[in-house]
Amino acid sequence: SNPNILIKVRVCAKDRKVSIAEHKGIEYLWINEILDKTQTYTAIKLKEDELYKKKGSDYKLPSKFLNLNAIYDKWTYERLADEISLDSEEKEIIRRCRPEIYFCYVFSTKVWDRFNNSLGVRGGVSIMNGGIVWEHYHVNELGGVFLKKNEIILKAISADPYLKERKSPTEAEQ
């Protein structure tokens, strides 16, 4: 996020009337902040563990954990290494690069359709869509690794200069 950037949008309508909108500051768009009925993966797992200890496998999650539009979470590199199986090379990369991972699984493409419709843009235009494109990424000058498409799904950030020199798979093939 950067609160010092000023964004100005100028629109000229068909009747030649000009509208200008200004907004100071930018920040990453977190999907869980624009959708209703969301829960973190961590909250769900903690509640499942709690209920299992009390009732065994015959437990039912409370309604606030059911019929969700999305499950999301933000993990530090330490949590990432604890949650998924990694070989020694991957563990070294995690230790060196220290990524922070945000993920959000949205249960239906209808959620995106409703969101796009709520914006009031012309039909057939999608401002946001779901999906992940793993193999197509680039590294910016600040060392952040971003997906080219659907950045809203996953963003890994690291200040490690190693990432600045690394080429994307498509660049490496050339």
With a cut of 70, list the residues of the chain below it in pLDDT: 1, 131-174
Q: What's the CA dihedral at 77, 143, 27, 46 to 10 degrees?
A: -10
Q: For residues 171 and 108, is the Cβ–Cβ distance under 8 A?
A: no
pTM of the model: 0.61
The whole-angstrom distance between residue 78's C-alpha and the CA centroid of its chain comes to 19
Q: In the chain, count H helices and then E strands.
A: 6, 8
- Give the pLDDT confidence of 77-86 residue by residue, as tens digits: 888 888 888 8
Q: What is the pLDDT of residue 54?
A: 94
- Give the pLDDT confidence of 126-151 residue by residue, as tens digits: 777 776 544 334 444 444 444 343 33
